[in-house]
Structure 1
Amino acid sequence: MKVLNVLLNIIWLILAGIPMALGYVLAGVICCILIITIPWGVASFRIANYVLWPFGRTVVQKPSAGVASAVGNVIWIVVAGIWLAIAHLASALALFVTIIGIPLAIAELKIIPITLTPLGREIVPSNRAFAKYGSLTQV
């Protein structure tokens, strides 16, 4: 399984990972310019790391996330989340055209929930997610 994850990540990196990560880095830099939006910038950089190498890692809800995360996610959706989600959809459509790209397109669609609501979520290795959190959304 580890070899398959590495192979999928290398193909992903070339076809979708680098362009999508650059989008998240750009959003993170813009968010870090203003002091009040630094939490969204940090979340954007965290997702950029995840988007570069997604296979073998998963996203889980943080049990400690509260109302502040929910309000922050609403602001994020309006400011940057919707645009990044549209980029994921466009990339998924382009990947669906090729046979080798279909699994990558499905992974692209599975990343959209963290794109829209990054606060209150945590990226963990897939092999430890179920034992620690009990449920997972795996890419």
Structure 2
Amino acid sequence: MRTLLNIIWLVLSGFWLFLGYVAAGVVLCILIITIPWGIASFRIGAYALWPFGRTVVAKPTSGAFSFLGNVIWVILAGWWLALAHIVSGIALCVTIIGIPMGIADFKLVPVSLAPLGKEIVPVGTGEFDRARARQA
């Protein structure tokens, strides 16, 4: 089922959202000082390309620098990527088949606004369980 949802997602909106993250990552990598944000953009872009079966969890080692980095991220690229998720999520929710994809799109909004201090892990693996246990 995840594979089918990922294929439908890829066709309807995943590819275009991925291109937005790649564009942001390229621009941020060109401005040498913002390379960490460019890498985060590529990481979240790969997640936006194929989201079903994976989830975002907080890293327990993140701290004040992640918060400050996320503030800079929102100013540089986060707000328009979050806006893209909201617009495509609304468009996907117009159809019955698109509702699960629209919900997935809305779940990507928080990570598009604050990607630093987050980790993407597969669902249903020991890695996922360990990440959830660290958060508890």
**Please, what TM-score do these two structures have when normalized by structure 2?**
0.94
The Cα of 1:78 is off from its aligned counterpart by 1.3
1: CA distance between counterparts of 2:114 and 2:3? 27
2: CA distance between counterparts of 1:85 and 1:64? 25
Please tell me the root mean square deviation across aligned C-alpha atoms, in Å.
1.0
Name stretches of at least 5 consecutive residues in structure 1 with no aligned partner: none
Following superposition, which runs of at least 4 residues in structure 1 exceed 3 angstroms of deviation? none
The Cα of 1:130 is off from its aligned counterpart by 4.3
Aligned to 1:48: 45
Deviations 1:1-36 (CA, angstroms, capped at 9, x unpaired): xxx000000000000100000000000000000111
User: In the alignment, is residue 7 of structure 1 matched against residue 40 of structure 2?
Assistant: no
The Cα of 1:118 is off from its aligned counterpart by 0.3
How many correspondences in the alignment?
132
Deviations 1:60-93 (CA, angstroms, capped at 9, x unpaired): 0001101111000001011110100001010011
Partner of 2:119, secondary structure, is strand
Identity %, equivalent residues: 61
User: In the alignment, is residue 103 of structure 1 matched against residue 100 of structure 2?
Assistant: yes
Name stretches of at least 5 consecutive residues in structure 2 with no aligned partner: none
User: In the alignment, is residue 122 of structure 1 matched against residue 100 of structure 2?
Assistant: no
Aligned to 2:13: 16
Aligned to 2:131: 133
